[in-house]
A and B are shown apart, each in its own frame.
Chain A
């Protein structure tokens, strides 16, 4: 019989190794963020020193003031919030309805239509940028909130994701509602939709995070600085030849604030949502 002491020892060794690995990973993940905070307080010279210095010499808010004055931050915040809000609302609305239909209704051409949804999911979104821009421009809607929201009106991923959720709900529940006198629409919104809470929360988080970080589309469609989002607005701080990194970092930090606050509030749902979708 192996002694319990040696068993205990080997278990402790493996625990220590696990922790070392996790701490190492955490440091790597956190490093860019910490570096960003440090840089946002440095002067331009300090930020470009070779070898690099770690800590800024003073904690002056100069870079933050510069960022706020050189960009219309109120507009950027507002535009971003509206874009995220509408994209989330539409993603939930349309993905839920389409997901329910694909999962629980029988109609002609269902499989072909769902195949198209899957196909769209497997294509890189960049290839849609030009046609989408042409559509928005033809509508005369460039430089509007609508333009920012447009590609997020429907989400192939959302449709697929909610279809899976609805597939997991026993058909008998819908049938019971039907027997209880619900029509198809009432069955959907009184009985089925309320059962998808966790998935809808996950979709909300995903859509919000993605919309928040989306750079390419806002940059393409809204060229007026006042109609830009935080991400595209910040991108304008990058010069063609040189970049004022401390100001960019200060601006980015300001742009991250709402997301950080939201994350702190919805931490649990965030983690569950990511675990639930099997993403990342």
Chain B
């Protein structure tokens, strides 16, 4: 059993820098959890506290049902993969993978068996006698994974393991790590900056900012129901569009007024939640794929001038200036409008998010 539980964990670095003020988080056994957030938000710090590389200033950290605040890393049954791999340059691949087992005084033939098993799973067998210097980035990454694997840890900790790889290799390694997780059936905690990694790999995503968890949910829920402006803007690429609107009420339905245009809101929206905002300004959020570029003649919600049209292959990203606010629209590549043209935009009403302008919390989706 290797669940991980943070109970009111605080981390303050020397010099009174509180990086993580009060962390409460539960990670289930065998779960693949992703930690994301902007640079400096405390992702690595959180991971390193699990590893035992940083002490915990206050609160309790459980692995399974044991408090591990004062347990040495080697006794926590964890393994960590570092961003720069941190392989031992003077040891062969074999020795790199075997080193932890040798330290633990595992019998020689057992070590040999496990190293070969890991090497086989990771396609490293031809390289066992090489030094890390003579490996490519992807191979080094696999050695780092192998080093973690052979110890049969209950928890895998990975700190941006793919960020030093090129895009193609990253895609391949992403799949490889997902496969590894399925095969090993252990808990994975994975730190990343990368949207795609976060959305595709995890069972659950924890979004952090300034050491505080913003939202902790499945990738789909995070995407469809972001709980505040930060998460809405952070998850998804290109970013969600934000627009200041004033809420009005008409014929029992709600509308959002944006610079003379009236956008009818979906009748499915939570009316009780919206009621207090009538006559007030809110922030409307809509993802680029939920904005349609339509013929100027047909009914539409907004109009704006196309400033940039980025052809992405199957689709085209239009950057439209709507009364000083830039909106990104994902249109099919067959769309005829180009830079300088006017674009007529229609919102998919059931995909609109509304946020409180003061608290930045989501009010209705």
Cβ A186 vs Cβ B73 within 8 A: no
Q: Which of A170, A178, A180, A182 contacts B53 (CB 8 A)?
A: A178
CB distance from A252 to the nearest CB of B (A): 41
Residues of A within 8 A of B90 (CB): 194-195
Residues of A within 8 A of B79 (CB): 179
In the complex, whether B84 has a CB less than 8 A from a CB of chain A is yes
* Chain A residues within 8 Å of chain B by Cβ, number: 15
Q: Which of B51, B87, B89 contacts A179 (CB 8 A)?
A: B51
CA distance A179 to B89 in the complex (A): 17
Residues of B within 8 A of A140 (CB): none
- Contact status of A176 and B74, CB under 8 A, knowing A181-B100, A181-B103: no
CB distance from A208 to the nearest CB of B (A): 24
- Contact status of A172 and B84, CB under 8 A, knowing A179-B51, A180-B100, A181-B104: yes
Interface string of B81-101 (1 = CB under 8 A from A): 011101111100000000110
- Contact status of A176 and B103, CB under 8 A, knowing A195-B89, A195-B90: no
Q: Quick one: closest B residue to A193, CB to CB?
A: B90
Q: Which of A176, A186, A194 contacts B86 (CB 8 A)?
A: A176
Cβ B86 vs Cβ A172 within 8 A: yes
Residues of B within 8 A of A175 (CB): 53, 80, 82, 86
CA distance A182 to B99 in the complex (A): 10
CA distance A43 to B147 in the complex (A): 71
Q: Which of B259-299 contact A (CB under 8 A)?
A: none
CA distance A254 to B52 in the complex (A): 60
Cβ A176 vs Cβ B82 within 8 A: yes
Q: Which of A170, A172, A173, A182 contacts B103 (CB 8 A)?
A: A182
- Contact status of A179 and B84, CB under 8 A, knowing A186-B103, A195-B89, A195-B90: no
Residues of B within 8 A of A191 (CB): 88
Residues of B within 8 A of A181 (CB): 74, 100, 103-104
Cβ B73 vs Cβ A179 within 8 A: yes
* Chain B residues within 8 Å of chain A by Cβ, number: 21
CA distance A175 to B83 in the complex (A): 12
Cβ A170 vs Cβ B84 within 8 A: yes
CA distance A175 to B84 in the complex (A): 12
CA distance A250 to B52 in the complex (A): 65
Residues of A within 8 A of B84 (CB): 170, 172
Cβ B86 vs Cβ A180 within 8 A: no
Q: Which of A173, A178, A179 contacts B88 (CB 8 A)?
A: A173
Q: Quick one: closest B residue to A197, CB to CB?
A: B90
Q: Quick one: closest B residue to A176, CB to CB?
A: B86
CA distance A177 to B73 in the complex (A): 10
Q: Quick one: closest A residue to B48, CB to CB?
A: A175
Residues of A within 8 A of B86 (CB): 170, 172-173, 175-176
Residues of A within 8 A of B83 (CB): 172
Residues of B within 8 A of A186 (CB): 103
Residue among A170, A179, A195 facing the most chain B CB atoms (10 A cut-off):
A179
Q: Which of A238-278 contact B (CB under 8 A)?
A: none
Q: Quick one: closest A residue to B144, CB to CB?
A: A176
Residues of A within 8 A of B80 (CB): 175-176, 179
Q: Which of A160-187 contact B (CB under 8 A)?
A: 170, 172-173, 175-182, 186
Cβ B99 vs Cβ A180 within 8 A: yes
Residues of A within 8 A of B88 (CB): 173, 176-177, 191
Q: Which residues of A contact B (CB under 8 A)?
A: 170, 172-173, 175-182, 186, 191, 194-195
Other A-B contacts than A180-B74, A181-B104, A195-B89, 10 sampled, CB-CB below 8 A, are A172-B84, A175-B80, A176-B82, A177-B88, A178-B74, A179-B52, A179-B74, A180-B100, A182-B103, A195-B90
List 7 A–B pairs whose Cβ atoms lie within 8 Å, in order of A's numbering: A178-B53, A178-B73, A179-B51, A179-B80, A180-B103, A181-B104, A195-B89
Q: Which residues of B contact A (CB under 8 A)?
A: 51-53, 73-74, 78-80, 82-84, 86-90, 99-100, 103-104, 147
